[in-house]
Amino acid sequence: MCMIRANARAGNEVRRLPGAAIVPNHVRSQFGWSVAYHPIFPFSLTQIYRPGRIPLVRVGAIIRCQMTPLIGPIGKFCMRLLHIADVHLGRPFRWLGRERGSARRAELRATLGRAVALARERKVDALCIAGDLYERENALPAVGELLRETFAALENTPVLIAPGNHDYYSPGCLYDQTVWPANVHIFRQPALTPVRVADGVVWGLAFVGPERRASPLSGAVRPSSEREVVLCHAEVVESGGSSLFGPLEPSALATAGFRFALLGHVHRGQVDEARRFAYPGSLEPLDPREEGPRWALQIDVTGDGVTIEQIPIARRRAIQVELDVSEIRTRDDWERALAEWSPAWLDATVKLRLVGTLRGELSSRPEFIADSLADYDVDLEMLARPEEDLRMLARQQTTLGAFIRATQERIDGASDPAERIHWEDVLAVGLAAFRGQEVTLR
Ligand SMILES: [Mn+2]
């Protein structure tokens, strides 16, 4: 016995379907039947489908239920899409070093695998990928092979790929080298072309170079129904704005008659139902600056609009942490402090700024700080400076002593905070130069 939820389902959230005679295509395609129902009151209902028999209806209200063989679009539900973008397979993650970089690349592959599993679970009508699936310069044939296998697992569910600026299409590129299973469709044209998905249409295009100054909608054929969406890499701009990455004015979407735009390029997730577009964000944060939300988006397209569910899928989040190390003097102190802070870093990619004054062991052997972070995805920025006994150094009858005395005079005589900071920076740079060290200014 199979159960069908006749109300459109989105994860844990159950929405009421408006009106009557609505059936998701993913249900229909699975069972070869559609279920039409006519609720007297707006409510949710669950039907139990028994092959070859009248369905049982488990709901305490008066409804009339009928089974209808499939003879074309029924009702308003058009298609259910799973939308992801900016996977960036093959990303080197150089800042993490060889081992951790390789672990992060494996994580990206695993998260893509979870997106595909999600597409199966949700029985979507298509998995839509809005560009930057991989990075051309790092994409070996093995990446194509991995993608082939990953997408083949979806069997008959279409995978629609609209290449972006990092994985742009050119004849003979990885998209051409790979022998794709029949369910994979790659948009190879720089102008929108349509693909029918269930009772809707997905229009997609490819970047064919690292830049695209034309709007994705330039030369677009006007869609013929309310059930048509755009899938592409693009940068949303205000009216008259320009971009090197497919400038898209949201108002042009409505003017052109598209129901919605499934976009890629911006790595921070954004859903704007009013202006008809969504960015799922990069599948995983690619570096610690990529703060903000990211999801796989389940997009149900109906004749009336879209409903969107944001499904968290990333393993990591990007965070920025600033720590004052002035009170830490020994390696043991540092290890204890780290044990307190670091549990939150295990599922994160972290920009760590150390500020304050380096004292004791932190000053004499600062290299152990970086060593102790080897188990985390931490991009370390050392802004803390060693404690200086400037008064003692200034007494020296040396060039260094003279430099410190002269600079200290300017610091003491500064007329405003900006000037003071300026001369403090001069002192820091000068001291570092005398020692052949690097320094990061505020
Ligand atoms: Mn990208």
Quote the ligand 1 centre to 174 CA distance (angstroms).
17
Q: How far is the CA of 183 from the centre of ligand 1 (A)?
A: 24
Cα 313–Cα 120–Cα 15 angle in degrees, nearest 5:
75
Expressed in angstroms and rounded, the spacing between residue 145 Cα and the centre of ligand 1 is: 21
Q: Rounded to the nearest whole angstrom, what is the distance from the C-alpha of residue 259 to the centroid of ligand 1?
A: 24
pLDDT attached to residue 424: 85
Please spell the DSSP secondary structure of 294-318, one letter per residue. Answer: --EEEEEEETTEEEEEEE---S-EE
Can you give the pLDDT at residue 442? 63
Tokens at 308, concatenated = 């969107």
Torsions phi, psi of 110, nearest 5?
-65, -40
Output the DSSP codes for 253-286. Answer: HHHHT-SEEEEES-SS-EEETTTTEEE--BSS-S
Per-residue pLDDT of the chain (442 residues; tens, 9 = 90+): 333 333 333 333 323 233 223 344 444 444 433 333 333 333 333 333 334 444 444 433 333 333 333 333 444 789 999 999 999 999 999 989 899 999 999 999 999 999 999 999 999 999 999 999 999 998 889 999 999 999 999 999 999 999 999 999 999 999 999 999 999 999 999 999 999 999 999 999 999 999 999 999 998 678 888 899 999 999 999 998 999 999 999 999 989 999 999 999 999 999 999 999 999 999 999 999 999 999 999 999 988 889 999 999 999 999 999 999 999 989 999 999 999 999 999 999 999 999 998 888 888 888 889 999 988 999 999 888 887 777 888 888 999 999 999 999 999 999 998 998 899 889 888 888 887 777 666 6
- CA-to-CA distance for 439 and 381, rounded, in angstroms? 11
Place of tokens 């005395």: 405
Backbone angles phi, psi at 274, to 5 degrees: -65, -40
> What is the CA(133)–ligand 1 centre distance, in A?
8
Query: Strand 126-129's sheet: what is its strand order?
Result: 184-186, 159-161, 126-129, 77-84, 296-302, 305-311
- Pairing of the two strands 228-233 and 184-186: unpaired
β-partners of residue 34 are: 68
230, 56 Cβ separation under 8 angstroms? no
Distance 267 CA to ligand 1 centre (A): 6
∠ CA 32-36-40, rounded to 5°: 160
Q: How far is CA 168 from CA 130, 139, 165, 439, in A?
A: 11, 12, 5, 39
How much distance in Å is there from the Cα of 440 to the middle of ligand 1? 29
**Residue 323 forms beta bridges with which residues?**
354
How many angstroms does the Cα of residue 242 sit away from the middle of ligand 1? 18
- Using DSSP's 3-state secondary structure scheme, residue 83 falls into strand
Cα of 264 to ligand 1 centre, how many Å? 7
- Residue 266 corresponds to which tokens in the numbers above? 């911006």
Between the CA of 244 and the centroid of ligand 1 the distance, in Å, is 13
Gap from CA of 282 to ligand 1 centroid (Å): 7
pLDDT the model gives residue 440: 67
Q: Look up residue 103 and give its DSSP letter.
A: H
Report how far Cα 223 is from the mean position of its chain's Cα atoms. 28
* Residue 208, amino acid: V
Other CB atoms within 10 Å distance of the CB of residue 65: 17
The helix/strand/coil state of 159 is: strand
The whole-angstrom separation of Cα 361 and Cα 295 is 43
If you measure from the C-alpha of residue 278 to the centroid of ligand 1, how many angstroms do you get, rounded to a whole number? 14
How distant, in Å, are the alpha carbons of 90, 134, 158, 410 from that of 180?
19, 16, 12, 69
Using left for φ > 0, alpha for ψ between -120 and 50, and beta otherwise, residue 92 falls in alpha
Say how many Å lie between the CA of residue 117 and the centre of ligand 1.
22
The Å distance, Cα 288 to ligand 1 centre, comes to 15
Q: How far is the CA of 313 from the centre of ligand 1 (A)?
A: 17
Nearest 10 degrees: CA dihedral of 108, 314, 100, 151? Answer: -10
Structure tokens at 116: 């595909």
Residues 58 and 145: their CA atoms lie apart, in Å, by: 46
Residue 265 CA to ligand 1 center (angstroms) comes to 5
- Residue 84 β-bridge partners: 129
CA Rg, the chain, in Å?
Answer: 29
Structural domains in the chain, sorted by start: 2-69 (no CATH), 77-311 (3.60.21.10), 317-435 (no CATH)
CA of 210 to the centre of ligand 1 (A): 11
Q: Is 240 helix (H, G, I), strand (E, B) or coil?
A: coil
Ligand 1 centroid to 195 CA: how many Å? 24
Q: Quickly list DSSP for 327-368.
A: T--SHHHHHHHHHHHGGGGTTEEEEEEEESEE-HHHHH-THH
pLDDT value at position 251?
A: 93
- Give the Cα separation of 124 and 79 in Å (integer): 8
**Predicted TM-score (pTM) of this structure:** 0.74
